[in-house]
Amino acid sequence: MIKRRGRLAVLLAAALLVSGCAASADPRLDVSATPWPRSDLWQKAADAENYLAGVYAVAATTLPACGAWCPAAEAMHEAHATVLAQPDPFGGFTTPTVHVLPEFGDEATLAQALTQAAEDCLTADKAGLAAAQPGPEALLWASLVATAGVSVAWTGDPSVARPAPVPGDVVPSRIDISTADAANAVLSGVNGLIYAMTVASAQATTSKGMLAQLATQLTDAQSQSSALQAQIRAAGGIPAAPALAYPLSDGVGSDAAITASLNTLKAGMAVAYIRWAGTLTGDAAVTAATQADLAGATAMGQTITWWPGWG
């Protein structure tokens, strides 16, 4: 039986902020915060992120499946809550709200609560993105949607081994994003996959099973490339032409190497989708952010940061 009342203490929040800046100095720490205009969707999402972090805190010491994932995900979602709640998401920290969590009677109840908390967090983040202005604001929300999607995937099946998320070297900031450049970055990512799969399919060392997988994925990628080109033209842009060659991190000399190379390319494409979502509005932004398959990337061993799409 679980007899615990979890509390996100101020000391935990302070430790989190220090750990979040371990990779590099956080430029927001000594910046005077200024009010950022926002709707109540910001606080709703902050509460959802904060609550999810709290349930992860309880799960970290209770659920055997947690491993390194739960404490790392707790820190990530608490960082998200902090940024959403501070007066200016791009300048100056505030102390996160301390939540008193309910008691969970057993592991099954806790696991169910964790799943629901992840889904509620994703829903709140999608609502924020749908209402966001393109630019840094939408990019912030797109990053939250993509990472919340990974939490939904983990809580749905904790048996899938995923590297724990890490703070990374960047934080949300005021940056300019070109719609055409962002869309072409996604297109370039898709074209890179097409190149990798085409080269891999021509290798004598590629197994029949892998060839079948590549054929299916290649057809999907080609359709995706065509759709992206049409979207770019419809927006008045010029689709980037495919490169003659793309880097293959692990080569294509074996099935394992092919998988590793494709996974690296897919992870990069997921980040490109987040960046593109930051240039869009409404349902289009949400659709682009949900196409950022960070869940698939982590399932294949890729590590994500708290703020994918930035930097």
Kindly state the average pLDDT of the residues 76-84. 92
Kindly state the average pLDDT of the residues 43-64. 93
DSSP code of residue 166: B
- pLDDT confidence band for 311 (50 / 70 / 90): low
The more confidently predicted of residues 8 and 126 is 126
Q: What is each CA distance from 71 to 53, 62, 63, 68, 115, in whole angstroms? A: 9, 11, 11, 6, 16
The more confidently predicted of residues 31 and 122 is 122
The residue to which tokens 């399932």 are assigned: 299
Q: Are 309 and 271 in contact (CB under 8 A)?
A: yes
- Give backbone dihedrals phi and psi of 279, rounded to 5 degrees, phi first: -100, -5
Q: Are 281 and 260 in contact (CB under 8 A)?
A: no
What residues does each domain of the chain span?
Answer: 10-156, 179-277
What is the pLDDT at residue 219?
95
DSSP assignment string, 84-140: HHSSSTTS---PPPP-BPPP-SSHHHHHHHHHHHHHHHHHHHHHHHHTPPTTHHHHH
| pLDDT over 50 (residue 244) | yes
DSSP code of residue 65: T
Kindly state the average pLDDT of the residues 92-109. 72
The more confidently predicted of residues 1 and 161 is 161
Judged by average pLDDT, the poorest of 171-175, 176-180, 214-218 is: 176-180
| pLDDT over 80 (residue 98) | no
| pLDDT over 50 (residue 8) | no
DSSP code of residue 242: P
- Give backbone dihedrals phi and psi of 4, rounded to 5 degrees, phi first: -145, 135
Give pTM, 2 decimals. 0.83
What is the pLDDT at residue 34?
63
What is the pLDDT at residue 12?
35
The residue to which tokens 């990974």 are assigned: 150
Give me Rg for the CA atoms of the chain.
20
Q: How far apart are CA 232 and CA 271, in angstroms?
A: 18
Q: Are 85 and 51 in contact (CB under 8 A)?
A: no
- pLDDT confidence band for 176 (50 / 70 / 90): confident
| pLDDT over 80 (residue 264) | yes
Q: What homologous superfamily does CATH list for 179-277? A: Ferritin, core subunit, four-helix bundle (1.20.1260.10)
CATH code of the region 10-156 = 1.20.1260.10
Which residue, among 302, 268, 55, 63, has the nearest Cα to 164 in the 3D structure? Answer: 302
Tell me how far apart the 2 most distant CA atoms of the chain are, in Å: 61
